[in-house]
Amino acid sequence: MKTRVGRLAAFALAVLTIGVLAGRAQILNQLDFKMTQPFTVGNATLAAGSYVIRPVSGADQMVVEISAAGGKPTILVEVEALQPDAVKGSHLVFNKYKSLLALSQVFPGGGQQGYQVLQGHPEKMAAKSEQPTKQTVTSSSK
C-alpha cells in the first residue's frame, strides 16, 4: 500500500513539474514592443502604444494574440512558422507603404522560430500599387 501511494505521489509531482515548466516556457515567448504610430495587423488597425504578443496554444492553426499593455484591445492573428533570421535579439518586421504600416514578421530571438503574419485586406490592397520598404522594431522577450 505504501509503495502505491509513493508511486502516485511521484507521478503527481512529475506532472506538476512538467506543467510548471510548460507554463514558464509560454511566458518566455511573450514579446513586448512600443509603436509610435498606428499600424495594421491582419484586418485590424491598432493605435500607437505599448503592446504584447503571445502565442496562443490549443488552436488548430498557428495563432498569436496581440494586446495592448493594459489588456485591451486584444486581437488574434493567424501566422505561419518562419526559420529564425540572422538578426540577434527579438524584433518585429513591418511592411511600410505610403499610407500603411503593416506587421509582417515576429522574431522572438534566441534562435527560436519566427512568425509570418498573414496579410489582411488593407495590406493586400496597398501591395497592388506599391512595393513596401521593411522597417524593424526591437522588442523585449519575457
Mean pLDDT on 54-72: 85
Check if the beta carbon of residue 34 is closer than 8 Å to that of residue 47.
no
Q: What is the dihedral of CA 115, 137, 87, 25, to 10 degrees?
A: -50
For the segment 95-133, what is each residue's pLDDT rounded down to a tens digit?
999 999 999 999 988 788 899 999 999 999 999 999 999
More confident site: 44 or 58: 44
**DSSP 3-state of 122:** helix
Instruction: For residues 7 and 9, give the distance between their C-alpha atoms in angstroms, rounded to a whole number.
Output: 5
pTM of the predicted model, to two decimals?
A: 0.74
Asked if the model's pLDDT at residue 78 lies above 50, the reply is yes
Position 6 in a domain:
no
Residue written as grid cell 507554463? 23
Number of domains in the chain: 1
Domain span at residue 112 reads 30-141
Q: Kindly report, residue by residue over 117-126, the tens digit of the pLDDT.
A: 999 999 999 9
5 within domain boundaries: no
- Four-residue CA torsion sign, 139, 75, 106, 38: negative
